[in-house]
Structure 1
Amino acid sequence: MPLPTPFTDWFAARGWRVRRHQADMLAAAERGEHALLVAATGAGKTLAGFLPTLVDLAQHPTDRLHTLYVSPLKALAADVERNLSAPIADIGLDISVESRSGDTSSDKKARQRSRPPNILLTTPESLSLLISYPDSFLMFSDLKTVVIDEIHAFAPGKRGDLLSLALARLQMIAQGLRRVGLSATIADTTAYRSWLAPGGDADTVTLVEGEAGADPDIEILLPEGAVPWAGHSGRYAVHQVMAEVAKNRTTIIFCNTRGLAELIFQELWKVNDAGLPIAIHHGSLDREARQRAEAAMAEGRLRALVATSSLDLGLDWGDVDCVIQMGAPKGSSRLLQRIGRANHRLDEPSRALIVPGNRFEYLEAQAALDAVEAGERDADRFRPGALDVLAQHVMALACAAPFKEDALLAEVRSATPYQWIDADMFGRLLGFVRDGGYALKSYDRFRRLAPDGAGGWRIAHPQLAARHRLNAGIIVDAPTFDVRFKNGRRLGSVEEYFASTLTPGDTFAFAGLSLEVESIRDSDLYVRATTRPARIPSYTGARMALTTRLADRVRAFLADSTSWAPFPEDVRFWLEAQAERSVLPRVDQLLVETFPHDDAHFMVAYPFEGWNAHQSLGMLITKRMERAGLQPLGFVASDYALAIWSLRPVADPAALFDPAILEDEFTEWVEGSHLLKRAFREVAVIGGLIERQHPGKRKTGKQVTFSTDLIFDVLRKYEPDHLLLEAAWADARERLTDVARLGDLLDRAAGTMLHRPLGHISPLAIPVLILIGRESVAGHDIDDALLGELADTLADKAMRPV
């Protein structure tokens, strides 16, 4: 597809050239091929995705919807809308562009369905709602292209399941539809091409790779003293971080959790003697507060923004000079994504600093830096499409029009995540959507489908369509309390379990303020600003796990002493002391140390499989130890290690790590814990069994939990093979416990365990044992001096001459 003269003139006026990958995307469009573009941030990736659309619309004007753009964030869609307006206006194109999200007014939404723009920018959830309307067949009948931005952000998860099903419906409506995926960080391009392709045939999707840009400039920021033994915040470096902020025009400071973001923001303010304008941005803040921070960044009014993964995908802020990662990055792809927020120009290096929280995190930071230099990305693991998402999608399609079971099954199976669905499973799923299943079918409230009289199915009552659209969605937040001032102004929300620990007079940090609780009424937490010291809110959101590839690199560091030369002296001494006083495992070995300490017997394992997997394994092993009469007292986990202490010593750790634990203790633990109920609550909401909202009223988190717990107990008793229980088990196994990594860990332990009995604590065990002191004051910010004393005491025992 040759680029018309007005376009080449526009490029030339900016001193730009058409990059190779942009030309390749034009060529793929001319051939009518699906395409996956993998290009670095700042490479003109979004423009490459839209260029074929702009050229086609310039040459063949239409008043119909031509291109649908889907992004994981509505803020990103709004940013793309602003950026698209420039070339459209400058070139003089008669092309309409609009966004559609939950913030779009109802009258504009209705108009978009009857008179859509040429280019519509939306999210997976809003697209799913669009296809639930009868007029969706007309709206999408002339659709030519779907552009999926930041495809890595949702393809392997439930939002990806929802989008893949929506794409299958769009492909049925507009059979010549072309699919385009965009990403900066993909390791397994074949898996993503398969996900993107109709029917899962990766060969039908052309891979376009972007031009290489300048290598990023990444440094590890070391403390003025020793690298800490423990901790994850990097708060020791706030003076150094503030000095970096003062040197730059704009800095983004990324934190891995919302609680850490609040802590770092507070610590930076304490040392912000120059009064530089800094702000905070995370998902629990009120939408207006986030938008104010985004606008201030876009206008250049901020010197620094403390942020979480809420800005991982970022907006197009070209004047960000530096990105600082507080704590370990957990993955090379995530680090690259965050580094890409700096500079945003392909031919100039992005500058980044990593602030490791402890000595293991230093090794992880160095591993991430090496992985970036080697061009290594973290592979995503795709799993079968979720049943609760499919149930929601089937209901959406029923709201649009009656359907035939066989035809809908064929359509569903054309979505790659759902190729595993057979006629029997689809029949079970339709039974659930129809009436709730065997144990619930006698209740009218669960009856949603009825025969249409022509061998198909329709919605049982017209009101169900409105109720579905009111409750549809994939993201099920943990129950929350709104944080408000007495005048009613809302600051954001904290999760219910944290709010339940507060009483009037307690203090906590939120939205960059130190707040005192005045009262708690219903689901509102009323506060006032205070200068008293504050606790930091804790959140139950998923913890970022150390990726498998980074874990492999950290193991390689431990096994190869020749790689230690560039390490700081205290880190080198720590590893040398471990080699002298215990042992350092080979890359393929699982080291387990046992030793007496503080009137107890300790077993410390070093799997490097991430906190979620280690936490789950700790639960399982302590149960096995109880049955063996070892009298376990407790356990603590980090991303790198698991420590369990007991009254009796462990003579044979291999028996405790037997892979059979995933069949026996795992099933018993999940069924007896909150995990299955928590998973069931989410799948029940997503699958449409429980409605969160009614017109003019929204159920509280407690009301939803109460309803789902009742149904859970009924199904466990009367229909234990219910479809939603099966979906809940899948969630509990995969997402809540990281069972896949658990299985890998146990398989490795079976053949390579290296047990080292010791008479004393080992140097490698110091970081995880310090966590025991921290966990003993859970919910409070342990004093740094006390933590330092604990570390010194443990180090004195571990590092003394043998």
Structure 2
Amino acid sequence: MNKQKTSLPVRFRNWFAGRGWTVRPHQLAVLGAVIAGDNALLIAPTGGGKTLAGFLPSLIALADAPQPRLHTLYISPLKALATDIARNLETPIAEMALPIRVETRTGDTPANRRARQRSDPPHILLTTPESLALLLYQPEAAEYFADLAMIVLDEIHALAGTKRGDQLALCLARLHALAPRALRIGLSATVAHPGAMLDWLSPDGHGGATQLVLGEAGAPPEIGMLIAPGRMPWSGHMGLMAAEAILQQIRAARMTIVFVNTRAQAELMFEALWRHNEETLPIALHHGSLDVNQRRKVEAAMAAGRLRAVVATSSLDLGIDWAAVDQVIQVAAPKGVSRLMQRLGRANHRLDEASRALLVPANRFEVLECAAAIEGVAALDLDGDPPREGALDVLAQHVLGRACAGPFHPDNLFAEIRTAAPYAALSRRDFDDVVRYVEDGGYALSVYERYRKLFRDSEGMVHVRNARIVRLFRMNIGTIVEAPVLKVRMGGGRGGGITLGEIEEYFVAMLTPGDTFLFAGRRLRFVGIRETSVIVTDGGSGEPKIPTYVGGRMPLSTNLADRVRAMLHSPAQWVHFPEPVREWLDLQAVRSSLPGPDDLLVETFPRGGRWYLVAYCFEGRQAHQALGMLITRRLERFGGQPLGFVATDYVLGVWCAREPGDIARLFEQDMLGDDLEAWMDESTMLKRSFRNVAVIAGLIERTHPGGERSRRQVSINTDLIYDVLRKHDPTHILLRATRADAAHGLVDLARIAGMLARVQGRITHRRLRRVSPLAVPVLLEIGREQVRGGEAEDALLAEAEALLAEAGVTPCVHLA
């Protein structure tokens, strides 16, 4: 950190004093780093003036010596955040009469303004990664960015480690080549791996010339747990039973953000609150599927203080400054400490005042998770994985973009790309394979003219082939591919058969032909996928699989899972739990065992003519879903006759026709060898993952002149190409990228591998005569999927009471 004494110019000191503010040490430290010619990563709590710290060097530099060209580039993951920052910057600029022009450039910016910005750029341009990429891939980019002096990267934690972050890292590497004197300032309140983030931010990809600046701690947050009176659900639920209690908390505050984890939950909670809102308090809804104009109306009403509450998803997670918010309510467990702290920061937004928050667990396991999250916040134990290696499909998009901006030599481009931290370890072989793919599609596709996009001249320079390729590239830039849904058709494809509805592709990717699943109140047998339809027939043998949904895939963080396991193993910590939860855990300790911090508790017991296996893994729904697929394959080979499984964030439950044996062998690490390979090859997972990779890498255009391609066209083309590549070019760069994506995004392979390694020799198997208290929630999840019809709730309540009686728990009124 820079030790030299740094002070503000007189004009800025007077402005701070006029507002009754004192410049904070971390704001001066960032300014000092810039004066010393260094980059800076500022990690400071929400409300500590991070944004102002990021812009102070630019405002001071431009105050007395404005330049006619672009000076500062601000990059945000959210268009709304860029708009909010522009509004906030106007205050110091106007009050100090600074000759500085600030503008935004996002996908919502009108075409005429974008055109004017290219010829007459503002001093400070606020944009997003996608809009920056479009500017950089223009032939005039070198001239446009020639005088760039500062780059401010906001909410940096939300980008690093994602494909959008990979795209941004490549763009930053290009900016450094065009404007090598431009300095970078990264801003975040929640960075779990500062060293890795310094690497990501630095111009050399290894943390060089980059200072870490830590802001002073703010007032500790005040976090409580809200348990709805008279009810403590065993499993499932979305916290809707607490709507009336939540509304009482809203009445007692000026303004509240009610955070939920999915868009469906947001809609349901908003409806539930209004059912109790007899005095018609102004309560609004905000999530990513709403029309942009509707979201802006809600944001404007929040800023003006006209609302008492907003029900929101992660669409309001990031650092928009809502000064009137004095309370945050998180409904359902937050799934991570960092995510909870980010949401806490939306309340009060002032460093010297405690943020007030309430957590509303939706069931008994979530009580444990909420308690662990509160403990993690108090310990400032941030979670999250370090940024992974850069994705090769994003690199392919960047290579074509570089050619659209002008010819390049592969040696020079390789050296430039390796300065981006996600690609610092990129091998020359992978780079050359990516360039070859962009050039002509690779070995198996090179015979087709449409895949030939680049050519090399006699000096080895790489050029784009024609203007049509440039036009198509600019229409399809970006790394966000919406998760699609597929139509479920009975007995037909290509428009034939009866359409039952739509189901998320993520669930279908887990199926193999012959599998049975439940949909629209029917038991269906999966035949296969034809274009954009799931072809099914009625019936099927065995128990149906349990559908999974993208909305339920918010991962439980590793740190939080560790805390939950440790808490279960420490009865002294149960004193803060509600009495029903304490009794539940006490009974579990008597009738079976409690999961330990480092072991794996597996219970097996008979019930209703079946055998059940329940494994308390605590690795998150996504990892458990993949683990369930692998475990059932092994059970088939071992003669266990599995019938189905269900995965929650905490537990994996499998039911079989025969008693599962040799539990230790079932969880051996070799399942990640042949079992994994066979499952991935047989399922549609890789084919579905390939579609996203192919779209990002430019193999298939989402949009073409004349309109957007239909999902049917995209799926037909990518499925055919996938089959061709697997047969004729199995090491193709896009197939390698596909497998890496599937291992990380769909299977959560690292999480499963870590758990299996941790529990080897530490598996505790309890062979029980009946269901254990801790297993009741997962068996109710099975019942919830299987019970259908008008008497579903009564049937589920009866199932709950029967289970509780078997487990030795005294049933009471609100148990289901």
- TM-score scaled by length of structure 2: 0.90
**Other-structure match for 1:409:** 414
Q: Secondary structure of 1:591's match?
A: strand
Change (3 A) 1:789 1:620: same
Taking the TM superposition and a 5 Å limit, the aligned residue runs for 1:360-439 are 360-439=365-444
* Residue 228, structure 1, aligned to residue 237, structure 2: no
Once residues 788 and 293 of structure 1 are traced to their aligned partners in structure 2, the CA distance between those partners, rounded to angstroms, is 39
Correspondent of 1:797 among 790, 806, 815: 806
One-letter amino acid of the counterpart of residue 404, structure 1 = H
Q: CA deviation at 1:199?
A: 2.1
One-letter amino acid of the counterpart of residue 579, structure 2 = E
* Residue 252, structure 1, aligned to residue 257, structure 2: yes
Change (3 A) 1:448 1:271: same
* Cα contact 1:195–1:417 (8 A) shared by 2: yes
Q: CA deviation at 1:232?
A: 4.0
One-letter amino acid of the counterpart of residue 428, structure 1 = D
One-letter amino acid of the counterpart of residue 321, structure 1 = D
Q: CA deviation at 1:538?
A: 9.1
Q: CA deviation at 1:786?
A: 4.8
Taking the TM superposition and a 5 Å limit, the aligned residue runs for 1:301-340 are 301-340=306-345
RMSD after superposition: 2.2
Correspondent of 1:565 among 561, 572, 575: 575
**Other-structure match for 1:606:** 616
Once residues 709 and 188 of structure 1 are traced to their aligned partners in structure 2, the CA distance between those partners, rounded to angstroms, is 38
Output one character per residue of 1:254-303: Cα deviation in whole Å (capped at 9) or x when no partner: 11111111111111121111112212111122222222222222222222
**Other-structure match for 2:503:** 497
* Cα contact 1:643–1:768 (8 A) shared by 2: yes
Change (3 A) 1:270 1:587: same
One-letter amino acid of the counterpart of residue 544, structure 1 = M
Change (3 A) 1:496 1:161: farther
Once residues 114 and 430 of structure 1 are traced to their aligned partners in structure 2, the CA distance between those partners, rounded to angstroms, is 32
**Other-structure match for 1:56:** 61
**Other-structure match for 2:639:** 629
Correspondent of 1:17 among 18, 22, 40: 22
Change (3 A) 1:454 1:110: farther
Once residues 700 and 275 of structure 1 are traced to their aligned partners in structure 2, the CA distance between those partners, rounded to angstroms, is 43
Correspondent of 2:273 among 268, 272, 281: 268
One-letter amino acid of the counterpart of residue 604, structure 2 = T
Of the structure 1 ranges 305-314 and 719-728, higher mean CA displacement relative to structure 2 is found in: 305-314
Q: Secondary structure of 1:256's match?
A: coil
Taking the TM superposition and a 5 Å limit, the aligned residue runs for 1:116-135 are 116-135=121-140
* Cα contact 1:255–1:327 (8 A) shared by 2: yes
Once residues 16 and 309 of structure 1 are traced to their aligned partners in structure 2, the CA distance between those partners, rounded to angstroms, is 31
* Residue 35, structure 1, aligned to residue 44, structure 2: no
* Cα contact 1:480–1:701 (8 A) shared by 2: no
**Other-structure match for 1:514:** none
* Residue 672, structure 1, aligned to residue 682, structure 2: yes
Q: Secondary structure of 1:50's match?
A: helix
Output one character per residue of 1:53-112: Cα deviation in whole Å (capped at 9) or x when no partner: 100111322111111110000110010000001100111000111111111112221221
Q: CA deviation at 1:137?
A: 0.2
Correspondent of 2:445 among 398, 421, 440: 440
Q: CA deviation at 1:777?
A: 5.1
Output one character per residue of 1:396-416: Cα deviation in whole Å (capped at 9) or x when no partner: 110001000100000011111
Q: CA deviation at 1:751?
A: 2.2
Q: CA deviation at 1:749?
A: 2.8
* Residue 89, structure 1, aligned to residue 94, structure 2: yes
**Other-structure match for 2:177:** 172
Taking the TM superposition and a 5 Å limit, the aligned residue runs for 1:397-796 are 397-479=402-484, 497=503, 540-541=550-551, 543-776=553-786, 786-796=795-805
Output one character per residue of 1:739-787: Cα deviation in whole Å (capped at 9) or x when no partner: 1101011112322111111111001111111100112258x99965554
**Other-structure match for 2:296:** 291
Q: CA deviation at 1:718?
A: 1.2
Output one character per residue of 1:143-200: Cα deviation in whole Å (capped at 9) or x when no partner: 1111110000010111111111000000001111211110001121111001111222
Taking the TM superposition and a 5 Å limit, the aligned residue runs for 1:196-235 are 196-235=201-240
Change (3 A) 1:425 1:593: same
* Residue 98, structure 1, aligned to residue 103, structure 2: yes
Q: Secondary structure of 2:725's match?
A: helix
Once residues 548 and 653 of structure 2 are traced to their aligned partners in structure 1, the CA distance between those partners, rounded to angstroms, is 23
Once residues 341 and 743 of structure 1 are traced to their aligned partners in structure 2, the CA distance between those partners, rounded to angstroms, is 36
Once residues 601 and 215 of structure 1 are traced to their aligned partners in structure 2, the CA distance between those partners, rounded to angstroms, is 48
Q: CA deviation at 1:251?
A: 1.1
Once residues 500 and 135 of structure 1 are traced to their aligned partners in structure 2, the CA distance between those partners, rounded to angstroms, is 41
Once residues 788 and 295 of structure 1 are traced to their aligned partners in structure 2, the CA distance between those partners, rounded to angstroms, is 45
One-letter amino acid of the counterpart of residue 796, structure 1 = A
Output one character per residue of 1:448-500: Cα deviation in whole Å (capped at 9) or x when no partner: 10123432101010221111010010000023699xxxxxxxxxxxx953699
Change (3 A) 1:581 1:196: same
Correspondent of 1:5 among 10, 17, 33: 10
Q: Secondary structure of 2:125's match?
A: strand
Unaligned runs of 5+ in 1: 483-494, 508-521, 524-536
Once residues 45 and 65 of structure 2 are traced to their aligned partners in structure 1, the CA distance between those partners, rounded to angstroms, is 31
One-letter amino acid of the counterpart of residue 560, structure 1 = S
**Other-structure match for 2:516:** none
* Residue 344, structure 1, aligned to residue 354, structure 2: no
One-letter amino acid of the counterpart of residue 803, structure 2 = L
**Other-structure match for 2:243:** 238
Q: Secondary structure of 1:200's match?
A: coil
* Cα contact 2:260–2:330 (8 A) shared by 1: yes
Once residues 559 and 777 of structure 1 are traced to their aligned partners in structure 2, the CA distance between those partners, rounded to angstroms, is 34
Change (3 A) 1:745 1:538: closer
Name the count of aligned residue pairs: 757
Of the structure 1 ranges 280-289 and 783-792, higher mean CA displacement relative to structure 2 is found in: 783-792
**Other-structure match for 1:356:** 361
* Cα contact 1:161–1:385 (8 A) shared by 2: yes
Q: CA deviation at 1:565?
A: 1.7
One-letter amino acid of the counterpart of residue 798, structure 1 = A
Once residues 293 and 708 of structure 1 are traced to their aligned partners in structure 2, the CA distance between those partners, rounded to angstroms, is 39
Q: CA deviation at 1:418?
A: 0.6
Q: Secondary structure of 2:165's match?
A: helix
* Cα contact 1:378–1:547 (8 A) shared by 2: yes
Q: CA deviation at 1:620?
A: 0.7
Change (3 A) 1:426 1:255: same
Q: Secondary structure of 1:69's match?
A: strand
Once residues 428 and 576 of structure 1 are traced to their aligned partners in structure 2, the CA distance between those partners, rounded to angstroms, is 59
**Other-structure match for 1:532:** none
Change (3 A) 1:680 1:328: same
* Cα contact 2:43–2:190 (8 A) shared by 1: yes
Q: Secondary structure of 1:565's match?
A: helix
Percent of residue pairs identical: 53
